[in-house]
Amino acid sequence: MMAQYLEIKSQYADALLFYRMGDFYELFFDDAVAASEALDIALTKRGKHDGADIPMCGVPVHSAEGYLLTLIRKGFRVAVCEQMESPAEAKKRGSKSVVKRDVVRLVTPGTLTEETLLEARRHNYLAALAHVRDDWALAWTDISTGAFHVLPITLARVGPELACLAPAEILISENPHDGLHTIFEDLGIEPTELGKSSFDSTSALTRLNAQFGVASLDAFGQFSRPEVSAMGALVDYLDLTQKGKLPLLRPPQQEKLHSAMQIDAATRRNLEITHSLQGGRAGSLLSVVDRTVTAGGARLLERRLSTPSCDLDNIHRRQDGITWFREMPEIAQKVRDALKRVPDVDRALSRLGLDRGEPRDMTAIRSALEQSIAISALLAEAPPPEIVADAMHALTGHDELRGLLDDALVAEPPLLARDGGFIAAGYDTDLDEARKLRDEGRGVIAGLQKTYSEQTGVASLKIKHNNVLGYFIETTATHAEKMMAPPLNETFIHRQTTANQIRFTTVELSELERRIMNAGSEALEIEKRLYSSLSRAILDKQADMAALAQALAEFDVCSALADLATDLDWCRPTVDASRAFDVTSGRHPVVEKALRAQGGSSFVANDCQLTADDDGASIALLTGPNMAGKSTYLRQNALIALLAQTGSYVPAESAHVGLVSQIFSRVGASDDLARGRSTFMVEMVETAAILNQADDRALVILDEIGRGTATYDGLSIAWATLEHLQSVNKVRALFATHYHELTALASKLDGVRNATVAVREWEGDVIFLHEVHEGAADRSYGVQVAQLAGLPPAVITRARSVLDALEKGERENTSPKALIDDLPLFSAIANAPAPTKPGAESKIEAQIKELHPDEMTPMEALQALYHLKSLLQDTKT
Ligand SMILES: Nc1ncnc2c1ncn2[C@@H]1O[C@H](COP(=O)(O)OP(=O)(O)OP(=O)(O)O)[C@@H](O)[C@H]1O
C-alpha cells in the first residue's frame, strides 16, 4: 500500500494527497505534518518507512469538505485520491492485492465548485495570463458558473485588470516575464506556474475546439495567439485538476480593453469599491449598494461595480431598466419576492455538469423554472424597456424540462443522491414497484397468500418465512395429496415435509422473494439511472439554463438598484459623450450611511462643477481645514462617476457625467514596508502612474499630494503635478491640499479654480460645516483639530505659540529659525501645573458636592462661599 501511496504522491508533489482508506482520507509523511498543523488535528504514526516512523493524520470522508476549505484558504492544493474498486473486488485478484486507487480531482482555489467552499455572492475566478512577444492576453473562467472571458491587453494593464478581477488563482507559464514579479507582489498573488506546453497556442486551439464542440473558434470571434494561448492554458489546467471531467463552459466572450472604465489597483483600494481599506466587504461601496436577493444577482452587481462601462448604449439600457422598475414599485416588489425564491442556477448547473451534483441541484433548476413563469407574467404587465425585454426571452419555452422535473422530483429531496428517495412516486413504474416491494413486502406476500389460498381452495394456506428456506408456502399435511397432484403440482413445487406440515414454493414466490430482497438496492439503482437521465435532460438545455440564470440576475440587479434609488433618493444621471462633470447636492453613500447609523448629524450634500472645455482641463483646487470633509468630497465625486457608468442611479439631486475613461485616485497615505517602500515612495509611485497614464477623459482625485516630505519639497511637487495635469493630461480633477500657496495658481492656469470647505470659528474652536464653496482657505486649523483629538494641553499651548511665531515671521519676513529661538522652551510651558484630566473631579467641585444648602444657616453659607473663593485663588497661583 505504501508503494502505491508513494507512486501516486510522486505525481502530486506540490499538493497534499488525501489518500482514501475506507471512511477516511489519510495523509502521510510531510503532508501529514503540514495538514495536522493547518487543521489542528492529531498527528499519529503508522508503520515504518526506511526504518523511520511514518507520520499520519486523517479526516473522515463525510466531513472532508470543511477540512478542504481550511486547507484551500491556507493556500494548500489538495489531490483527492479515491478507491477505484471495493476491497472485495481487490481480493478477487489475490489475497494480498491492494485496492486500486487514483486521484479523481486536484482541488485548488480557482477550481472549486462545492457550495460550502464558495462564497455564494462572489465569483471565483481562475485566470491565465499569456503573451507572445509584446502582445498579452488575460483569460478567466469561473467553473462554478461557466463564465469564460478573454481580454487582449498590454503589460501595463496586467496589474489593473488583475486588481479588477481579483482571481482566486492565476496561471502563468514557467520562467515568467520579468515585469510580472512586481505586479504579483503588488497584488499579493502567488501565481501557479504551468509548463510551456500548457500555453502552446497550436495545441490550445485543438483543446478549445474540443471543449466547445466546434471545428473552429471563428464562431465566437477572431482571437489572437496570446488569447488562444491563455484560454488554452485554462482548459488544460481544468483538464489536469478535474481529471478529464471538463466543466460546462460558456463560449468564450471576447472583452475589449477600453470598453470598461480603467481603474488601477491603488485607486480601487482607495475608493473602497468592493472591499474597505480594512479588507472586508463592510464599509465598501458594494456593501451599501447591494440590495440583490439572489446569489447570481450579487455576483453580477459586484462585476458591474468592478468594471463600470464606457459604452453609452449599455449604460442607458441599464438606466432604463432601473427607471422602469422604479416607476412600477408594486410589480418590482413582486418580482423581488419571486426572485428571493430563485436558487443559484449557475452553480447548480456547474455541479451537474461536473457530475458532482445532488438532487437539490435539480430542484434548484426546477424552482428557477417555476419562478421564471411567475416573473415573466409580472414583467408582461407593462411594456418593458429593451434590457428587460431582451432578458425576458430567456424565461419562457422550458415547459418540457419543467414538466419533467415536476413529475420526476419530490418536493423536498434528501441531501445526497446516494440515499435515494428523491424521485417522485408515479414517475417510473419499475421504481414504484421496487419501492412497493421494499416498503410493503409483507403486504404483497399477504396478497399472494390470498391468491394461492383461493387457487388451491385451501383456506389455511399460509406464506411464511424462515432463515433456511426464506419464503415458503405451508399447508397442513392433510392437503399434501391435492397439492402434489396435477394441476396444482405444476405451480407448487415441494420443498419440505414436517410432521404435520408440508411446504412448497412457486416460481412466482421465489421471484418475489428475490425481488423483495433486492428491492431496496434495486430502488436505489433505478433512482441512480433516473438521476443520470434527468441530469442529461438538464445539461442538454445547458445554454438555455445559463441564459435563464443571466436573465434572472439582470432583473435582480435592475430591481435592486431601483429599490436603492427610491429608498435613498438617488437620481438618474445624464451620461453622455461630453466632458461634463456637474453634480448638484452629491453625497458619499458610505459616509452618509455611517452617519445615519450613528443617528448624529446628517450628511451635508455638496455640488461639484468640473465641466471641461473641449480641449482643456478642469481642476478644482480644494483647500480647507483638516477634518472638514475634503477626502470625503473627493471620493464621493469619484464614486458618483463610477456609479453613473455602472448604469446605476447616483447619490445626488442631479448629475451630468461626460464619459470617464479612467479614474485615478491618490488618497491618504499608507506605507508598504513589506516591499521596502516608505509612505512618500508609495505616494510618488502612484502619482507617477497618474501623470504618465491619465488622458483627457480621465477623472483624477489627488489628496494632499507631497505631504509625505519636507514642506518645500512637497509644495514644489504638488505645484508641478498640478501644472502637468492642467497642461499635459488635461483632466477633470479634484486636488485637495494644505499648501495654501497653490491657490494662487487658480488665477494663472486656465480651468483651475479654488474651492474650500467651510468651517466656523467659535471661541477658539472650529465647527465643521462640511460645505464646499468657491474660494480658498487660508488656514488649516490643524492645532484645533489636534486639540479635539486629545493632544495634551501643554503640547497644544506650545503648538499655538510656535504657529503664531511662524505666521508672524512670515508676515514680517523674519527667518522662522530666529523666531523660534526667541520662544520660551517647551519645558517652561510643560512645567506649568498639570491640567486636570478631563472627567476628573477638581478640588472645588468636590467641595461644592459636599455642601447641603437646605441644611445651612445663612452664616455657614457665607463662610462656605468665602472658602470656595479662596480655593479658586489657590488653583490660579
Ligand atoms: N459632507 C459631509 N457631511 C457630514 N459629515 C461629513 C461630510 N464630509 C465629511 N464628514 C465627516 O467628517 C469626517 C472627516 O472627513 P474627511 O476625512 O473627508 O476630512 P478631511 O478634510 O479630508 O480631513 P484631513 O485633511 O484631516 O484628511 C468624516 O469622517 C465624516 O464623518
Most confidently modeled range among 611-625, 645-659, 668-682: 645-659
- Which residue minimizes the CA distance to atom 24 of ligand 1? 626
Instruction: Report the predicted TM-score, pTM, of the whole model to 2 decimal places.
Output: 0.78
- pLDDT tens, position by position, 145-194: 888 999 999 888 898 889 888 899 999 998 888 888 888 888 888 899 99
What CATH class has 574-783? alpha beta
Assess contact for 488 and 479: CB atoms under 8 A: no
Confidence band, pLDDT 50/70/90 cuts, at residue 816: low
Distance 629 CA to ligand 1 centre (A): 3
Predicted confidence at residue 395, as pLDDT, reads 93
Assess contact for 217 and 122: CB atoms under 8 A: no
**Cα torsion angle, 29, 34, 35, 39, sign:** positive
Provide the CATH topology of domain 120-259. Nucleotidyltransferase; domain 5 (3.30.420)
User: ipTM score here?
Assistant: 0.97
Distance 775 CA to ligand 1 centre (A): 18
From the options 3.40.1170.10, 3.40.50.720, 3.50.50.60, 3.30.1360.10, give the CATH code of 2-107: 3.40.1170.10
Task: Give one DSSP letter per residue of 275-291, joined into a string.
Answer: S-TTSSSTTSHHHHH--
Give Cα 23 to chain centroid, integer Å.
33
Per the model's pLDDT, the better-predicted residue between 10 and 705 turns out to be: 10
Question: Which atom of ligand 1 is nearest to 595's Cα?
Answer: 31
Predicted confidence at residue 544, as pLDDT, reads 93
Rounded Cα distance, 484 and 21, in Å: 55
- Which residue minimizes the CA distance to atom 4 of ligand 1? 603
What's the whole-number mean pLDDT along residues 345-369? 92
- pLDDT tens, position by position, 427-460: 999 999 888 878 777 778 888 899 999 988 888 8
β-pair type (581-586, 618-623) = unpaired
Q: What is the CA radius of gyration of the chain?
A: 38
490's grid cell: 405444476
List of long-range contacts for 355-360, beta carbons under 8 Å, 24+ apart: 355/245, 355/535, 356/113, 356/114, 357/417, 357/535, 358/415, 358/416, 358/417, 359/409, 359/413, 359/414, 359/415, 359/416, 359/417, 359/422, 359/531, 360/413, 360/415
Instruction: State the greatest distance between any 2 C-alpha atoms of the chain, in Å, as a whole number.
Output: 139
Question: Which atom of ligand 1 is nearest to 757's Cα?
Answer: 21
Predicted confidence at residue 187, as pLDDT, reads 81
Q: What is the dihedral of CA 639, 640, 641, 643, to 10 degrees?
A: 80
What's the whole-number mean pLDDT along residues 410-435? 88
% of the chain at pLDDT higher than 90: 46
- Which residue minimizes the CA distance to atom 12 of ligand 1? 629
Rounded Cα distance, 211 and 235, in Å: 8
CB proximity list for 857: less than 8 A, separation 6 or greater: none
551's grid cell: 436573465
Predicted confidence at residue 827, as pLDDT, reads 56
Confidence band, pLDDT 50/70/90 cuts, at residue 826: low
Burial (CB < 10 A; 0-12, 13-18, 19+), residue 116, is exposed
- Which residue minimizes the CA distance to atom 25 of ligand 1? 626
- pLDDT tens, position by position, 690-709: 898 899 999 999 988 777 66
- Which residue minimizes the CA distance to atom 9 of ligand 1? 629
Most confidently modeled range among 556-560, 673-677, 690-694, 855-859: 556-560
Q: For residue 243, give the nearest of 65, 75, 116, 111 by alpha carbon.
A: 111
What's the whole-number mean pLDDT along residues 589-594? 93
What's the whole-number mean pLDDT along residues 385-404? 93
- pLDDT tens, position by position, 59-101: 999 888 889 989 988 889 999 999 998 888 888 888 788 899 9
Q: Given a cut of 90, is residue 835 above it in pLDDT?
A: no
Distance 631 CA to ligand 1 centre (A): 6
Peptide bond into 55 cis (omega under 30): no
Predicted confidence at residue 671, as pLDDT, reads 47
Task: Output DSSP code: residue 778.
Answer: S
Q: For residue 650, give the nearest of 582, 698, 580 by alpha carbon.
A: 582
- Which residue minimizes the CA distance to atom 14 of ligand 1? 627
Predicted confidence at residue 343, as pLDDT, reads 92
Rounded Cα distance, 289 and 300, in Å: 13
What's the whole-number mean pLDDT along residues 593-607? 88
Question: Which atom of ligand 1 is nearest to 668's Cα?
Answer: 27
What CATH class has 290-398+541-568? mainly alpha
What's the whole-number mean pLDDT along residues 843-858? 83
Same fold, 290-398+541-568 and 429-521: yes
Burial (CB < 10 A; 0-12, 13-18, 19+), residue 828, is exposed
Assess contact for 464 and 445: CB atoms under 8 A: no
- Which residue minimizes the CA distance to atom 5 of ligand 1? 603
Distance 780 CA to ligand 1 centre (A): 13
pLDDT mean across residues, the chain: 87
Provide the β-strand partners of residue 45.
Answer: 55
β-pair type (501-505, 765-774) = unpaired
Predicted confidence at residue 48, as pLDDT, reads 83
Rounded Cα distance, 460 and 619, in Å: 106
Pocket of ligand 1 (CB under 6 A): 591, 595, 603-604, 606, 626-632, 770
**CATH number for the domain formed by residue range(s) 429-521:** 1.10.1420.10
- Mutate which of 601, 603, 630, 632 to test ligand 1's pocket (most atoms within 8 Å of Cβ)? 632
CB proximity list for 602: less than 8 A, separation 6 or greater: 595, 596
What's the whole-number mean pLDDT along residues 559-575? 96
For the ranges 455-459, 504-508, 605-609, 832-836, the lowest mean pLDDT is seen at: 832-836
Rounded Cα distance, 480 and 574, in Å: 100
Assess contact for 651 and 592: CB atoms under 8 A: yes
For the ranges 261-265, 549-553, 810-814, the lowest mean pLDDT is seen at: 810-814
Q: For residue 205, give the nearest of 177, 228, 175 by alpha carbon.
A: 228
Would you mind telling me the total number of residues written for the chain in this entry? 877
Assess contact for 740 and 708: CB atoms under 8 A: no
Angle at 68 between CA 67 and CA 70, to 5 degrees: 65
- Residue spans of the domains in the chain: they are 2-107, 120-259, 290-398+541-568, 429-521, 574-783, 791-830, 843-876
Per the model's pLDDT, the better-predicted residue between 849 and 594 turns out to be: 594
Q: What is the dihedral of CA 435, 440, 441, 445, to 10 degrees?
A: -130
657's grid cell: 457625467
Task: Give one DSSP letter per residue of 745-758, joined into a string.
Answer: GGGTSTTEEEEEEE
Assess contact for 476 and 464: CB atoms under 8 A: no
Distance 600 CA to ligand 1 centre (A): 14
Distance 628 CA to ligand 1 centre (A): 5
CB atoms within 10 A of CB 421: 15
Rounded Cα distance, 583 and 655, in Å: 4
Predicted confidence at residue 764, as pLDDT, reads 67
Confidence band, pLDDT 50/70/90 cuts, at residue 831: low
List of long-range contacts for 779-782, beta carbons under 8 Å, 24+ apart: 779/625, 779/740, 780/624, 780/625, 780/626, 780/738, 780/740, 781/625, 781/626, 782/625, 782/626, 782/738
Burial (CB < 10 A; 0-12, 13-18, 19+), residue 308, is buried
Distance 602 CA to ligand 1 centre (A): 12
Q: Given a cut of 50, is residue 565 above it in pLDDT?
A: yes
